[in-house]
Amino acid sequence: MDGFKYKAYKPKSKGGNRRNKNQLPINLEVNSNDKLTGALYHRRNVIKQSDWFKGVQHTFDSVISSDNWPTPAKIIALGLGSFEDNRNAVDQLVLLEYIIEKLQIAPNNVSLYDPVCTETDKDFVKQFGYDYIQDSDSIHTNNNCNTFLYMPHCDKVLYEATLSSYWSADKLSTVVLLGNDLSLYSNRQKDKGNVSLVSKFLTFSESNNLPNPPDDLINSFNELCFQYVPSLRARWLNEEYWNKQ
């Protein structure tokens, strides 16, 4: 997949050095794997004890109980960043763990990719049994089953490329996206004459926003939303809809 990009959420400044705040503390006496394990354990406790997480659980229960819900058989996580030096990435990994548990997905059916990941990052996720995708061109080659796409705070170009990989009547309805609220991208589209796949997707998709996160989680989870096109809608969309131009 060419042009892989992801973009960290950048809130309005509230003072202080937020970048340093999101970096994991460095202790040269602790090896990288132990450092990541400790960071994940700590952030897991913080997040799961928050009121925000309770709201996430409620939203998730509501979404998966829908008659239109396409039960995923695998998860692809894109653009989480490097766990080695970014707390936001670790936070997003905590939510991924919850999604895997909630959907009862086997670890070997969970794949991750981000070009900024280090060898330490790759080894870290592999110890959980997850697959790290080595080549971006092979991300969506096996897209013949219901897929949960976890793409927090990715660039619009990546959302477009990802949707393009599933852009047919028989495949689009097999995808659930948990990523940025795509309506925010569509509303900012400058060229109204050239309708993007994001805009087309929004026309017929179901959407459920996650709760607004508190300040200490805003960089990790702000503006995230469940989005998918129910199969019944996909079947009666005309040929013009499936034109990628």
Domain contains 18: no
Q: Is 7 inside a domain boundary?
A: no
Residue 13 lies in a domain: no
pLDDT of 188 over the 70 cut: no
- Could you tell me if residue 20 is inside a domain? no
Q: Characterize the bridge pairing of strands 206-209 and 224-228.
A: antiparallel
Tell me the pLDDT tens digit for each residue of 129-185.
999 998 776 677 677 799 999 999 999 999 999 999 998 888 888 999 999 999 988
CATH code assigned at 44? 3.40.50
Q: Is residue 106 part of a domain?
A: yes
Q: Residue 237 sits in which domain range?
A: 32-242
- Is position 8 within any domain? no
Total domains, the chain: 1
Question: What does the pLDDT look like over 2-14, one tens digit per residue?
Answer: 555 545 444 433 3
pTM: 0.86
